Structure 1
């Protein structure tokens, strides 16, 4: 499709349009691998995150979905989708307070060992440095 702007009227218009595909169409059994045909629904998303929370590996998660659906075509996702979802969720958790999480874990360890760790914050109350050592 070629589109041009008629500056005098301020209108865009189609100059030419070719209604042919410039590639071979995907076969029905390949459509499930196209990005436009893969969606992780809210229920599936919650299930994946729940499995991740209890430590189930990502390839086992995908195998679980495929075995329940019977075929890749009916599954609606591929391995890369599960890896990406888990990665995005992990990045969200880290962005919400990775330093706070680390300091919280260290504080609980310090209750058992008073000399376990020390940390320093900068002017904006961000973690500047941390030192820890088991007794």
Structure 2
């Protein structure tokens, strides 16, 4: 059994312009992984980072996003922690008709993460107040 691997935590400014750096770092961390798996992880990681910027205080002046990526011999988990103050929690808008989904410009990202990952979820940084949310997605690794 392969021991668990935990990558160095990273701190990124909450700016969509930093997304290319997040992708480069994730690609570097995933060197040696199956290329299709790495592509899927970069795609989903990009979406989770962008959501932190778009929907929380991480996207405001001085906002940051923290990362936590870990793996064992069966799975890899990507996690992004935002600065909170988004007024809600990550959610897939399920109360849409097919026509509404066809016309929707956004809010498809978490649906994509749900479809491509083994599991995803979130947990508040603090049990009281909107002080940040850690959103994660787990992916089963090919053996």
- TM-score, normalised to structure 1, is 0.25
- TM-score, normalised to structure 2, is 0.24
Higher relative contact order (CA 8 A, sep 6+): 2
Q: Which has the larger radius of gyration?
A: 1
Q: Higher strand share goes to which structure?
A: 2
Q: Higher helix share goes to which structure?
A: 1
